[in-house]
Amino acid sequence: MLPSERRLTRDELIREAGGNAMLLQDAVSASLIVPADHYGDDALAVLKSLVELQRSGIEPRHLRGFRAAAERELGLIESALIPIARRKDASSRAKAQELAREIAGQLEVVRSSLIRSALGRL
């Protein structure tokens, strides 16, 4: 049995991430975290990262381009899935979801490599 994702209130999220209400609000304003009544592990991981980035002077507003890049990647994934997504049966939907995760993983490998390569030039 898979463990269920935690559901954190706003205050629990802030406390566990070591952040503050302003940082969370800035993250929501920059569309890095979706506003909700309860937050999951992804929001916690993002807010923890934002706490660490803030220590280096990087604020959520500086990361708006990341959101735009993620949207472009999503468009690329959706384009690749068009032939499968046209089919309406459950097995095709499951295959599309699996393929979407695989493509996203491969894009992550490429993005990480590009960043590591660029860091080597600093």
pLDDT tens per residue across span 69-90: 999 999 999 999 998 878 888 8
Cβ–Cβ < 8 Å for 60, 26: yes
* pTM score above 0.75: yes
Q: Which DSSP symbol is given to 22?
A: H
Please give the sequence-ordered ranges of beta strands (E in DSSP) within the chain, or none if there are none. none
Q: How far apart are CA 14 and CA 22, in angstroms?
A: 10
pLDDT tens per residue across span 12-30: 999 999 999 999 999 999 9
- Please indicate whether residue 86 or residue 60 has the higher confidence score (pLDDT): 60
pLDDT tens per residue across span 82-114: 988 788 888 888 899 999 999 999 999 999 999
State the burial class of residue 48 (Cβ atoms within 10 Å of its Cβ: 0-12, 13-18, 19+): middle
